[in-house]
Amino acid sequence: MENLVEIRDVNFSYDLRPVLKGINMTVPRGSLATIMGLSGCGKTTLLRLIGGALKAKSGEVRVAGRLMNELDQEELYAMRRRMGMLFQFGALYTDLSVFDNVAFQMREHTSLPESMIRDLALMKLNAVGLRGAQDLMPSELSGGMARRVALARAIALDPMLIMYDEPFTGLDPISMGVISNLIRRLNAALGATSIIVTHDVQETLRIVDYVYFMSDGIVVAKGTPDEIRSSETPFVHQFVWGEMDGPMPFHYPGAPYHRDLAFGPAHA
């Protein structure tokens, strides 16, 4: 299957702090991939590189065959019109109603008549089950509803690539299930390709086709959800099963315990 996203030997650093160290990754067209890892491991940075918000210091990030590092502003914007992104807390425009949020991109990028924009926006809202909430303001929505509106907004222009940055953060189990099912269903219905950046393991493994595990700026494991579940790699095992101790130690590095307590030389 043809790859929509190809990442080759990508390095990236903030000032002098390296965040990504020689990352290689491919996401086939039509698939649903996830990038998992601990906070600060570089997964959101990778998503920003794919979206063209950051430029790799070395290596290649290709989306639909185009090298993202080399696009100028106009080409980048043309590419982004074919991408959708769901932000961690929705990032809805707080001065616009639910309907206007979904219609925002259509009004900005198309010259469709208002009647058609209305129909299209209502169809997107219907797909996430919130057609009835079209007149509400973002401040009147629950966390789960806001995330669904943001999802409807992300798919407003039928993107070829949808990126999800921590889509499950702060959601109750029902909302989480609703969002994950929507992600799976919409990806299939739109014929899109999706990349989910998350650390909600069980919910994500249920819906994705392929998993990349990152730690400290490198890909430490990859495979299908079943391969990941049965992985013997200590880090992956600890992460997937939420074990307290393992390669990622429970204790933050510090002086020996006995020295900090009354048994050390300071108390002798």
Tell me how far, at minimum, the Cβ of 108 lies from another protein, in Å: 5
Query: In the chain, what is the greatest distance between 2 CA atoms, to the nearest angstrom?
Result: 82
Q: To 10 degrees, what angle do helices 98-109 and 143-154 make?
A: 20
Tokens of 90: 């929705």
Part of the chain binding another protein (CB under 8 A), chosen from 29-37, 89-97, 175-183, 193-201: 89-97
Nearer Cβ to another protein, position 38 or 71?
71
Q: In what order do the strands lie in the sheet with 161-165?
A: 83-86, 161-165, 193-198, 32-37, 210-215, 218-223
Contact by Cβ (8 Å): 50, 63: yes
Q: What does the alpha-carbon distance between residue 116 and residue 108 come to, in Å, rounded to a whole number? A: 14
Nearer Cβ to another protein, position 95 or 245?
95
Q: Binding to another protein by residue 94, rule CB under 8 A?
A: yes
Q: Binding to another protein by residue 81, rule CB under 8 A?
A: yes
Q: Binding to another protein by residue 93, rule CB under 8 A?
A: yes
Q: What does the alpha-carbon distance between residue 117 and residue 105 come to, in Å, rounded to a whole number? A: 10
Q: Binding to another protein by residue 85, rule CB under 8 A?
A: yes
Part of the chain binding another protein (CB under 8 A), chosen from 72-80, 115-123, 198-206, 251-259: 72-80
Contact by Cβ (8 Å): 94, 141: no
Tell me how far, at minimum, the Cβ of 51 lies from another protein, in Å: 6
Part of the chain binding another protein (CB under 8 A), chosen from 74-82, 202-210, 237-245, 255-263: 74-82
- Residues binding another protein (CB under 8 A): 51, 53, 76-78, 80-81, 83, 85, 87-89, 91-94, 104-105, 108-109
